[in-house]
Amino acid sequence: MFNLRQANLQDLEALIGLRLELLREAGDIKGDSDTTNLAEATRKYLGEKMPSGEFLA
């Protein structure tokens, strides 16, 4: 059985990691590309949108 819950800001780093892995699997990130800027942009976006309810996970 699964327990589901809405993600919150404590899950932010896990969500960023999952997003980067998804983009790697989709071929949008090639190999060992530097993802620092993408991770930071995602962190900023989610940090703004999650508390307001505009992004749910």
Phi, psi angle pair for 53, to nearest 5°? 85, 10
Locate tokens 């800027």: which residue? 37
What percent helix, strand, coil does the chain show, rounded to 5? 60, 0, 40
Question: Which pLDDT belongs to residue 31?
Answer: 78
Question: Which pLDDT belongs to residue 32?
Answer: 76
Question: Which pLDDT belongs to residue 3?
Answer: 93
Handedness of CA 18, 15, 48, 50 (dihedral sign): positive
CA distance linking residue 40 with residue 45, whole number of Å: 9
pLDDT digits (tens, 9 = 90+) for 1-55: 899 999 999 999 999 999 999 999 999 998 778 899 999 999 999 999 999 999 9
Question: Which pLDDT belongs to residue 6?
Answer: 96
pLDDT at 57 over 80: yes
Locate tokens 């930071």: which residue? 40
